[in-house]
Amino acid sequence: MDFSQSYSKLRFVLHVHFVLVVGVLLTHWSSPAYLFYNVLFVVAIIWSIASRNSVEASQIAFSIDLSSFFFDLFIIAFNMSGIIGRVLGIVNLLFRFYSMKVLHTEMLDREPSLLEFR
C-alpha cells in the first residue's frame, strides 16, 4: 500500500474521531470516562502517524479503538440524557468499524509477519 494513502487514511480517522468526540463533549452528555479513553485514542493515532515504522503504535491504537467500541456501547446504553450527544456518540461508535479496519491494515502494512500463524 502507498504510504501517503495510508497516512491520509489515518489522518482522516483522526479528524473524524476528533470532531465527533468534541461534538459529544460540547453537549455535556458523556461521562468523564468518555473523554479519558477518547483522548488516549487520539494520542495513540497521533503516535501512529508520527512513528511511521512502529508496529507497536498501530497495535496500541487498534487495541484502544477496539476497547473503546465496547465502552461506547456501555455509555450509550446506560446514559439516558441528551439526544444530540447520543446521536454523535452513535456516529462515533459506527465510525470505529472503519477506523479499526484502517488500523488493522496499517498494522499489516508495517509488519507483514502478523499474518503468519505460529
Q: Looking at this protein, which amino acid is placed at residue 7? A: Y
Cα–Cα distance measured from residue 97 to residue 27, given in angstroms and rounded to the nearest whole number: 24
- Whether 43 has a pLDDT exceeding 90, the answer reads yes
Residue 2, pLDDT score: 58
Top-confidence residue, 81 or 70: 70
Which residue bears the cell 461508535? 93
3-class secondary-structure state, position 5: helix
Query: Quick one: which H or E segment has residue 66?
Result: helix 55-78
Residue 3, pLDDT score: 56
Residue percentage of the chain with pLDDT more than 90: 49
Does the global pTM surpass 0.75? yes
Region 81-86: mean pLDDT is 81
Top-confidence residue, 16 or 28: 16
- Whether 116 has a pLDDT exceeding 70, the answer reads no
Top-confidence residue, 112 or 46: 46
Task: Calculate ∠ Cα 47-13-117, nearest 5°.
Answer: 70
Region 47-71: mean pLDDT is 92
